[in-house]
Every structure is written in structure tokens, then in C-alpha cells.
């Protein structure tokens, strides 16, 4: 808050008699320095953009881990027989764009904007899409409508031919995250402090001065005060933009409530905002460079599996489910992500697993070599291990039926 006394110029301020100040105003720091205030973010007066969100290091890191992680998984079309089938849409959705980039950007739309949009540009296999172009989620003009039924109201999306909509199971971060907005504000405050702008400052009349506005024409005293304070602030703002320190008139006293260097960086507040972002995205806080005092131990593979199940899984399932619908794939086909390379074991564990599967006749040696990219040897399947035969089960002792029952049966 900035309490600023009125005054048209230095001469007018200095010439006034020494009485108490007649006017004061509370000026938001966002108005003074041209930056958004906290209330602008909290009450939604300023909508956060994708560029602003990705400028936050924690959001950028979470985006890379989630979207980039899913983008590296190949998409496979599985037929009714359980075998993979070639489909150009899954190998390269967009012309001139790598598949991993297209999927990464699609997941980014789901993460930030809640839904992603593809536009079909070519039709091929089974009269299904063979090539698409990803649309900017913020520019799509298709909007849902509320439809009323006797049982209630539903939000229904119109069916637009050639337009593929992929919905996120979670809300978009751009509209549901106060933590991102708070971090942006804290960063702005820290940057202003680095430029020499204090977080709180104000003017007050110097001893022996009573700065007020001088009415002109039909102006009232209140109108003159408002005009004078505006002129003063405009001159102060222009001087601050041109120089690090602005000139202070002799009739004014400048006050500032400064922070020490540690507080100026707002380290604790920004670290708390990062922790909130970690909770929003599901990413481990340590992956966003926030130290945690206690945690459950996981090895590398367990952490990867946990990340797929808890963080990546909802977005992957949404994409798999949408691409597997009958309007995109023939009935009986389904689209799945191949996560085998991401969850692969270390060499010793993989060799032990292959040996167990080969010994159980679940896997052939050549099949195990094929997984490792080796040429088949043409070896026969291993003979079953010699096992001692189980003794034949002895007949259970059964009591003979009474003769009277036999007679009754014969009768």
C-alpha cells in the first residue's frame, strides 16, 4: 500500500502552509509498478496463459516428466487375434512431426487445458483417419451445450465430422491452479526486489508542508487532489522506469518497508508453492527439487511403475480409450501404449526371468533372443525335467450295500 499526499508540483507543495495533510490514497503496487496484483489472480481477473504457466520452473519440470514420459511410449494397434497391426496414424500422426512430439504436445493439452483436439486431414485404412493435425486447444471454437432431460441436465458436445476430441480425466492446470498463480506473483515480487523496488513503500508530507492539489476551473478540491496525485504518480513511475531511483520532491518524505536479502527471495513461500504444484500434478516433490524429510523407499523400477500407475496412467488410459472407439478403429481393435522398454529390468534380473520362463516352457530360447535383438539359433525346445511319477491312488474302501437294498433294486 502506498499512502501518497497530493501536490501538483514541487513549487505548489513547498508554498503551502504547515498544516496536516488533507488527502491520502491507497495505491496498489500493481498500479504503481504496472504489474498484476494478487487479487487479479485470485479472483480470475487475469487468466493465466500457457506461456506464463510453463515459465514456472516447477510446472515446466512436471510437464516434461508427464508429457515427455508418455510421448516416448510407442502406440500399438492390437487386432482381435491379439497381434499388433500396422496403422500410419499411430506411427506418425502428423505430417513432418515426429510421433513422440505429437503425443507429447497432445498430453500437454490434456494437462494444461483439460482436452486435446485433432483434425483429420487424410483418411485411409478401413476408411479411418490416416493423418491428423493437432489444433491449439485455446483456439478451438467448438463449444458444448447444456441439454435438459426429464431426469436432469447434461453437457453435450456437438459431433463435428473429422474433429477428434480427447478429454482429460483431470482438470486443466491453467484454470484450476491457484498455486501456479501464487508462484508467478512471488517471482514478480522477487524480481522487483532485485531491481531495487521494495515490496511496500509510501509517501508522507515532510515537516512544514501540506501538499494539496490546486483547483483549476470548476474543479472541486477532491477532484484537484485526485488529479494532483495522479500527476505525481505518473512522474514517479516514469522516473522509476528510466532510472533505478526516482527523484523525491523536498516537500515529500519517502518511506519503505524493506526485507533482508533472505526474505527478498521469498524462498520459503516459493518452495511451498512448488510443493502445491507437486500435489496438483502428482509428481514427487523431490523430482521438482524440493527436499523431503521422510519418504518410502522405492527402487528405480518400482518408482517407474508407480509413476505409470498413479501419474501417467490416467492420461494414457484417456488416449487409449479415445483412439480405440469405433469411429477411429474397427470393432474388435484397440490401441495401447507399449511401456515394456520403460519398465525393463536390469540385465541380471532380465536373464533370471528369461531362464525361469524358458524352464517353465512359457518362452522359447529364440523368443528370448529376439527380445534382445539377437539372431535366432534354431535350438529345439528344452526337454521337460524328469519328475518322479506319482504313485497311483489306492482305491478307497467302500462299504458294501446291504443285500436288502440289492433286492429292492432288483425288484
Range with top average pLDDT, 41-55, 285-299, 330-344: 330-344
32 vs 318, higher pLDDT: 318
Q: How far, in whole angstroms, is CA 198 from its chain's centroid?
A: 32
Predicted confidence (pLDDT) at residue 405 exceeds the cutoff of 50: no
The strand pair at 252-257 and 145-149 is best described as unpaired
With beta carbons less than 8 A apart as the criterion, state whether 98 and 136 touch: no
Q: How far, in whole angstroms, is CA 358 from its chain's centroid?
A: 43
190 vs 184, higher pLDDT: 184
CA distance 77 to 335: 5
Q: How far, in whole angstroms, is CA 71 from its chain's centroid?
A: 15
DSSP E strands: which ranges in 140-251?
145-149, 152-156, 163-167, 200-205
Q: Which residues make Cβ contacts (< 8 Å) with residue 187, sequence separation at least 6?
A: 56, 270
What's the whole-number mean pLDDT along residues 380-386? 56
If pLDDT is split at 50, 70 and 90, which confidence band does 367 have?
confident
CA distance 203 to 310: 53
Q: Which helix (H) or strand (E) holds 116?
A: strand 115-123
Predicted confidence (pLDDT) at residue 215 exceeds the cutoff of 70: yes
If pLDDT is split at 50, 70 and 90, which confidence band does 254 have?
confident
User: Which pLDDT value is given to residue 197?
Assistant: 59
pTM for this model (two decimals): 0.63
With beta carbons less than 8 A apart as the criterion, state whether 369 and 377 touch: yes
Quick check: helix, strand or coil at residue 334?
A: strand
The ranges assigned to domains in the chain are 2-42+178-264, 50-172, 345-377
Predicted confidence (pLDDT) at residue 160 exceeds the cutoff of 50: yes
With beta carbons less than 8 A apart as the criterion, state whether 132 and 119 touch: yes
Q: How far, in whole angstroms, is CA 215 from its chain's centroid?
A: 55
Closest CA to 74 of 314, 261, 316: 316
Cβ neighbours, 10 Å, residue 348:
8
Predicted confidence (pLDDT) at residue 353 exceeds the cutoff of 60: yes
Q: Which residues make Cβ contacts (< 8 Å) with residue 95, sequence separation at least 6?
A: 121, 131, 133
What's the whole-number mean pLDDT along residues 237-260? 71
89 vs 302, higher pLDDT: 89
342 DSSP assignment: T
Predicted confidence (pLDDT) at residue 21 exceeds the cutoff of 50: no
User: Which pLDDT value is given to residue 152?
Assistant: 94
User: Which pLDDT value is given to residue 232?
Assistant: 80
Quick check: helix, strand or coil at residue 337?
A: strand
Predicted confidence (pLDDT) at residue 235 exceeds the cutoff of 60: yes
What's the whole-number mean pLDDT along residues 306-331? 91
Predicted confidence (pLDDT) at residue 118 exceeds the cutoff of 90: yes
- Mean pLDDT taken over the chain: 75
* Residue 231, CA atoms < 13 Å, CB-side half-sphere: 15
Q: How far, in whole angstroms, is CA 252 from its chain's centroid?
A: 48
What's the whole-number mean pLDDT along residues 263-284? 75
Predicted confidence (pLDDT) at residue 31 exceeds the cutoff of 80: no
CA distance 70 to 129: 22
How big is the CA angle at 11 (ends 8 and 14), to the nearest 5 degrees?
Answer: 100
User: Measured on CA atoms in the order 117, 314, 41, 58, is the torsion positive or negative?
Assistant: negative
Predicted confidence (pLDDT) at residue 102 exceeds the cutoff of 90: yes
CA distance 104 to 108: 6
If pLDDT is split at 50, 70 and 90, which confidence band does 397 have?
low
CA distance 362 to 346: 21
Torsion angle in degrees (nearest 10) through CA of 70, 75, 81, 85: -170
156 vs 297, higher pLDDT: 156
If pLDDT is split at 50, 70 and 90, which confidence band does 295 have?
low
Residue/partner pairs of 76-80 with CB below 8 Å, 24 or more apart: 76/335, 76/336, 76/337, 76/338, 77/329, 77/333, 77/334, 77/335, 78/333, 78/334, 78/335, 78/336, 79/332, 79/333, 80/332, 80/333
Lowest mean pLDDT across 42-51, 56-65, 215-224, 372-381: 42-51
If pLDDT is split at 50, 70 and 90, which confidence band does 362 have?
confident
Predicted confidence (pLDDT) at residue 54 exceeds the cutoff of 80: yes
Predicted confidence (pLDDT) at residue 131 exceeds the cutoff of 50: yes
Amino acid at each position: 500500500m502506498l499512502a501518497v499526499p497530493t501536490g501538483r508540483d514541487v513549487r505548489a507543495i513547498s508554498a503551502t502552509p504547515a498544516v496536516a495533510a488533507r488527502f491520502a490514497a491507497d495505491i496498489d503496487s500493481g498500479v504503481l509498478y504496472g504489474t498484476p496484483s494478487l487479487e487479479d489472480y485470485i479472483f480470475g481477473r487475469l487468466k493465466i496463459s500457457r506461456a506464463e504457466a510453463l515459465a514456472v520452473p516447477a510446472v515446466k519440470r512436471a510437464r516434461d516428466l508427464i508429457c515427455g514420459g508418455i510421448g516416448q511410449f510407442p502406440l500399438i494397434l492390437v487386432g482381435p487375434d491379439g497381434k499388433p497391426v500396422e496403422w500410419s496414424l499411430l506411427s506418425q500422426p502428423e505430417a513432418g512431426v515426429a510421433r513422440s512430439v505429437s503425443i507429447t504436445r497432445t498430453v500437454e493439452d490434456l494437462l494444461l487445458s483439460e482436452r486435446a483436439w485433432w483434425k483429420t486431414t487424410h483418411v485411409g485404412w478401413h476408411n479411418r483417419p490416416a493423418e491428423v493435425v493437432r489444433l491449439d486447444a485455446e483456439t478451438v471454437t467448438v463449444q458444448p451445450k447444456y441439454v435438459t432431460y426429464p431426469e436432469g441436465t447434461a453437457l453435450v458436445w456437438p459431433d463435428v465430422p473429422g474433429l477428434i476430441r480427447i478429454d482429460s480425466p483431470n482438470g486443466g492446470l491453467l484454470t484450476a491452479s491457484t498455486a501456479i498463480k501464487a508462484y508467478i506473483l512471488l517471482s514478480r515480487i522477487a524480481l522487483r526486489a532485485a531491481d531495487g523496488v521494495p515490496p511496500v513503500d509510501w509517501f508522507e508530507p515532510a515537516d512544514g508542508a501540506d501538499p494539496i492539489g490546486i483547483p483549476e476551473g470548476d474543479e472541486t478540491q477532491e477532484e484537484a487532489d485526485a488529479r494532483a496525485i495522479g500527476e505525481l504518480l505518473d512522474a514517479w513511475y516514469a522516473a522509476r522506469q528510466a532510472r533505478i531511483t526516482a527523484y523525491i520532491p523536498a516537500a515529500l518524505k519517502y518511506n519503505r518497508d524493506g526485507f533482508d536479502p533472505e526474505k527478498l527471495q521469498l524462498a520459503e513461500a516459493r518452495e511451498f508453492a512448488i510443493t502445491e504444484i507437486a500435489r496438483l500434478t502428482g509428481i514427487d516433490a523431490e523430482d521438482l527439487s524440493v527436499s523431503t524429510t521422510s519418504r518410502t523407499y522405492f527402487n528405480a523400477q518400482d518408482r517407474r511403475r508407480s509413476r505409470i500407475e498413479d501419474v501417467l496412467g490416467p492420461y494414457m488410459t484417456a488416449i487409449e480409450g479415445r483412439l480405440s472407439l469405433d469411429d477411429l478403429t474397427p470393432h474388435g481393435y484397440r490401441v495401447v501404449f507399449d511401456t515394456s522398454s520403460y519398465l525393463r529390468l536390469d540385465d541380471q534380473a532380465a536373464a533370471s526371468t528369461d531362464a525361469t520362463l524358458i524352464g517353465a516352457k512359457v518362452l522359447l530360447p529364440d523368443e528370448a533372443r529376439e527380445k534382445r535383438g539377437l539372431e535366432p539359433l534354431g535350438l529345439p525346445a528344452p526337454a521337460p525335467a524328469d519328475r518322479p511319477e506319482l504313485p497311483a491312488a489306492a482305491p478307497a474302501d467302500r462299504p458294501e450295500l446291504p443285500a436288502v437294498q440289492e433286492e429292492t433294486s432288483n425288484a
